[in-house]
Amino acid sequence: MQARDYGPFPYTPINARPKLEWPGGARLAIWIIPNIEFFPLSRGIAPHPGAPVGNPPSVRPWAQRDYGNRVGIWRLMDVLSKHGIRASPTLNNDICDHHPQIVRAAIELGWEILGHNRTNSVWLDQLSPEEERKTISQTLSRIAEITGPQAGRLARLRTRRDLAHAGLSRRRRLSLCRRLGQRPPALFHGHSRQAPCLNSVF
């Protein structure tokens, strides 16, 4: 994708946008997308997004993430199940290797799984395009060993061709769009943790 002055999507003022019609006349749609990730204590971890990575062992940020896998995610599953809400968690490969119980529980709850890198210790924008394609393929393959061939992917704009290379057909990439009656989306996920936005890039 080539950089443009305004960005990857056309400007549309809010008072000129078509009205969204949600099922049952609902006025609000919420996407629950917990990150379920494993971080090794043997590698440095930044204390918060944008901060420099600390020297291992980064006990405090590691403990925060470990608490999420030991306690937090299970409480979240209980609360969402109580209210009949399904989530779409983003998984990295490492969680499949270290805590597969979490992934299996998510599948039993009917959650829709998204791949989110092989490991969060190495960012995709630090890789070459060839390495990124290989990482995407490895990520989806490893997750599919547990979930079956259902996983999608939370992706940066550059990865759209890599998704096809990894075996995600155009039909699968567009399936959510058809259900929502929207244009094909690309989920922009970068250092700034910007919100997802619709882009006509597929």
Question: Which residue has better confidence, 146 or 164?
Answer: 146
Is the Cβ–Cβ distance between 99 and 69 less than 8 Å?
yes
Integer Cα distance of 137 and 132 in angstroms: 9
| Cα dist from 185 to 6, 33, 83, 86, 193, whole Å | 18, 16, 28, 21, 17
pLDDT band (50, 70, 90) for residue 18: confident
CATH number, residue 175: 3.20.20.370
Query: How many domains are there within the chain?
Result: 1
Residue 192 lies in a domain: no
User: Which two structure tokens, joined as six digits, stand for 152?
Assistant: 């999608």
Global pTM reads 0.69
Cα-based torsion angle of the residue sequence 14, 9, 169, 104 in order, rounded to the nearest 10 degrees = -60
Q: What is the pLDDT of residues 109-154, one digit of tens each?
A: 999 888 888 887 777 777 888 888 888 888 888 888 888 765 554 4
Which domain range does residue 124 map to?
31-180
Integer Cα distance of 49 and 123 in angstroms: 12
Residue 4 lies in a domain: no
Residue 132 lies in a domain: yes
Please report where in the chains the tokens 């700034």 appear, as a residue. 192
User: Which two structure tokens, joined as six digits, stand for 67?
Assistant: 């608490």
